[in-house]
Structure 1
């Protein structure tokens, strides 16, 4: 069979998978932009590779919580090395990039699960922006943190400084690698804390 024939066969076989992924992505995007109106718990998260999103969506489904994806107004570069350099410069200047949007009716939430990856041994600059834009006074803050092997760094100090009025509980910290392992560990953490 010619290369053209193989390409056509691959295209035909891949079409149902692509359609499924597009549909799943559209549903996920809707859930990230439309927080549930009856929940007193919010899952707010920032992700680059998707590991933190896995935890956020597991929490949202398990707790029937509202969900909100934290995004900067100007997206970070897609190129990993450019992203790292920009984040380093923002961290070093203590820069808070503008947010694409803030959480509607933030005052109605009692508990905020806040998720993010570790960048440059601390919380990403956009997390500082999120904390500055939302008053966490009197709320319970439950961090969940992903990292590639170096732990949480100084991220807990950032939370303590920027969410001064919140009751910050011990974080869930995960060296993220596999989706299934991530979901199982999150559920175990929820069970240990009697949250489901």
Structure 2
């Protein structure tokens, strides 16, 4: 596994500027699990995003490089409630479950490079990322991860990528802290705790 890092500075800087606006952007953008129409590229941006943070980065990479775009979705969506999603993801992680996906990438063999985006869940890659990796043949492909996390780093996510896509060339990831949802919940909880109840 070779590790190198040459992601465009423009992509990194733009992503860091637009990331705080992810929630608003995500609400106005229709998600798709199919390859976006238009000229086909030999580069794919595939991503999983719950809150929209990772989606913002994915769309910026796609625009900057003119790649194809694919959203990774489980066949059964995760709960809307944050805490319920955390509990389900922990159960899946601990049991080694790889949930079924809504769709696979058509003509995956035609791509030479795949930018793979996802958030860190429970100190590792989400279960659907393991499913995505297991569902495709990575032989001869360059895998470029971009990962968002809540301040605790990458955890075991890189070893998950290496074990589930062993025949790919795994490039050093772009890692960005993006913990708006967790921080918001903590601040609201603290605020409620300070309210005097009648």
TM-score computed with the length of structure 1 as normaliser: 0.75
CA contact (8 A) 2:41 2:111 kept: yes
1:34 aligns with 2:38: no
Higher-Rg member (1/2):
1
Mapped partners of 2:56, 2:105: distance in 1:
20
Q: How many residues align?
A: 155
Q: Does residue 25 of the first structure (1) align with residue 29 of the second (2)?
A: yes
Which whole-Å CA distance do the structure 2 matches of 1:111 and 1:105 have between them? Answer: 13
Alpha carbons 2:26, 2:56 under 8 Å: kept = no
Equivalences for 1:67-82 in 2 at 5 Å?
67-82=69-84
Contact 1:51 1:177 in 2 (8 A): no
Offset of residue 23 of structure 1:
10
Q: Which residue of 1 aligns with 2:165?
A: 163
The equivalent residue for 1:50 is 52
> Which runs of 5 or more residues in structure 1 are unaligned?
1-20, 179-196
Inter-partner Cα distance in structure 2 for 1:33 and 1:123: 22
Instruction: Give me the whole-angstrom Cα distance separating, in 2, the residues matched to 1:22 and 1:146.
Output: 15
| Per-residue deviation, residues 51-107 of structure 1 (Å, max 9, x unmatched) | 000100000000000000000000001100100000000000110000000001100
Aligned-partner SS, 2:104: coil
Partner in structure 1 of residue 105 of structure 2: 103
After superposition, the Cα gap between the structure-2 partners of 1:38 and 1:81, relative to the gap in structure 1 and judged at 3 Å, is: same
Quote the residue 1:147 is aligned against.
149
TM-fit CA distance, 1:33: 2.5
Mapped partners of 1:90, 1:22: distance in 2: 26
Is the partner of 2:75 in helix, strand or coil? coil
Counterparts of 1:107 and 1:151 in 2: how far apart (Å)? Answer: 31
Kept in 2, the 8 Å contact 1:43–1:68? The answer is: yes
Shift of 1:140: 0.1
Q: Distance in 1 between matches of 2:118 and 2:29?
A: 20
> Structure 2 vs 1, CA of residues 170 and 49 (structure 1 numbering), >3 Å: closer, same or farther?
same
Distance 1:137 1:34 in 2: 21
**C-alpha spacing 1:156/1:81, structure 2 compared with 1 (3 Å):** same
Structure 2 length-normalised TM: 0.74
